């Protein structure tokens, strides 16, 4: 009988099967197509008022474009769309640059003192509306005022709309703005005569804090469109708030048309 040490035999383990790797699908990469679409959309609309939304769209185009390029590279030639992915990435990057430049330029400019100076809000679908107030402006009497758009004697002096001081009768509008006491300002505005009206129907007085600073008209209409003229008046603020007033001075208080106003601005005088 032999002495010996019997060792435990290791348990048999079958080899672990390797996960089967599926080949990348062939054809044009879907992310490349999406990146191109988003890049075109973002670059086309990056300069509009919707830039915050399309800024996000442009960033998404860059992300999808880079991801698509990686997938195409790993496919070993099975997938196409490399040009689309590059184009989407480039267009998205271009849109982001445009938005950043516009933001920097805009941030460097002081906010306008006059709100809604071109009377673009609210939008008038066609023709005109008689209103008591709009963003920034309010009527000075019960006649209210008229908000017109381009089909009615246009084009506007700025944008698509303008105000008409005479509505139900001879009226006016006013707005109070922030000012610096003792500072001098350039008050500018466009004034014109409504087509088909007489000179007496197109007269206006401009007041700054209740004091008259300009008188315009009588202005006779000529032609089928408003002939706008831009005027400048220099004023000095006496307090932290100043009120701009534009009111019709037609001697016939019942006149319900005339005295067109647009493009009102108040800027520090250089």
Q: Please answer whether residues 80 and 30 qualify as being in contact, where contact means their C-beta atoms are separated by less than 8 angstroms.
A: no
The reported pLDDT for the residue numbered 198 is 95
Q: Which of 177, 242, 170 is nearest to 213 (CA)?
A: 242
The reported pLDDT for the residue numbered 50 is 62
Q: Which residue has the higher pLDDT, 73 or 172?
A: 172
Q: Per residue in 39-60, is it b (16+ CB within 10 Å) or e — as a string?
A: bbbbbebbeeeebeebbebbbb
- Confidence category of residue 11, pLDDT binned at 50, 70, 90: low
The reported pLDDT for the residue numbered 27 is 86
Q: What share of the chain has pLDDT > 90, as a percent?
A: 62
Q: Inform me whether the pLDDT recorded for 236 exceeds 90.
A: yes
Q: Tokens for 168?
A: 């139900």
pLDDT tens-digit readout, 15-55: 655 545 555 577 899 999 998 998 888 777 765 656 667 77
Span 177-199, average pLDDT = 96
Q: What share of the chain has pLDDT > 70, as a percent?
A: 85
pLDDT tens-digit readout, 126-160: 788 999 999 999 999 999 999 999 777 778 999 99
Q: Are strands 145-149 and 128-131 parallel, antiparallel or unpaired?
A: antiparallel
Helix then strand then coil, in percent of the chain rounded to 5, is 25, 30, 45
Q: Which residue has the higher pLDDT, 194 or 153?
A: 194
- Whether the link from the prior residue into 218 is cis, omega within 30° of 0, is yes
Span 247-262, average pLDDT = 96
pLDDT tens-digit readout, 86-98: 999 999 898 888 8
Q: Are strands 204-208 and 211-216 parallel, antiparallel or unpaired?
A: antiparallel
Q: Inform me whether the pLDDT recorded for 75 exceeds 70.
A: yes
* 1: number of Cβ within 10 Å: 3
The reported pLDDT for the residue numbered 55 is 77
The reported pLDDT for the residue numbered 1 is 46
Q: Where are the domains of the chain?
A: 27-107, 128-268
Q: Inform me whether the pLDDT recorded for 209 exceeds 80.
A: yes
Q: Are strands 161-164 and 145-149 parallel, antiparallel or unpaired?
A: antiparallel
The CATH number assigned to the domain with range 128-268 reads: 2.60.120.200
């Amino acid at each position: 009988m032999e002495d010996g040490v019997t060792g435990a035999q290791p348990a048999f383990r079958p080899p672990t099967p390797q996960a089967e790797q599926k080949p990348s699908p062939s054809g044009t990469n879907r992310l490349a197509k999406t990146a191109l679409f988003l890049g075109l959309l973002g670059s086309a609309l990056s300069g509009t008022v919707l830039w915050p939304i399309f800024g996000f769209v442009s960033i998404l185009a860059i992300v999808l474009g880079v991801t698509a390029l990686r997938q195409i590279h790993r496919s070993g030639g099975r997938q196409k769309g490399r040009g689309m992915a590059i184009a989407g990435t480039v267009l998205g990057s271009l849109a982001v640059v445009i938005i950043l430049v516009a933001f920097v330029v805009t941030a460097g400019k002081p906010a306008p003192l006059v709100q809604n100076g071109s009377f673009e809000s609210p939008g008038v679908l066609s023709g005109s509306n008689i209103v008591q107030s709009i963003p920034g402006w309010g009527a000075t009497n019960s006649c209210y005022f008229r908000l017109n758009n381009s089909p009615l004697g246009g084009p506007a002096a700025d944008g698509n709309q303008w105000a008409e001081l005479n509505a139900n009768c001879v009226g006016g509008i006013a707005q109070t703005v922030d000012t610096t006491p003792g500072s001098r300002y350039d008050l500018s505005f466009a004034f014109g005569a409504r087509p088909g009206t007489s000179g007496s129907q197109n007269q206006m007085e401009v007041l700054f804090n209740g004091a008259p600073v300009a008188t315009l008209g009588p202005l006779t209409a000529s032609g089928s469109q408003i002939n706008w003229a831009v005027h400048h008046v220099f004023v000095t603020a006496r307090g932290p708030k100043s009120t701009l007033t534009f009111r019709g001075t037609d001697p016939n208080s019942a006149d319900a048309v005339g005295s067109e106003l647009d493009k009102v601005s108040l800027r520090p005088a250089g």
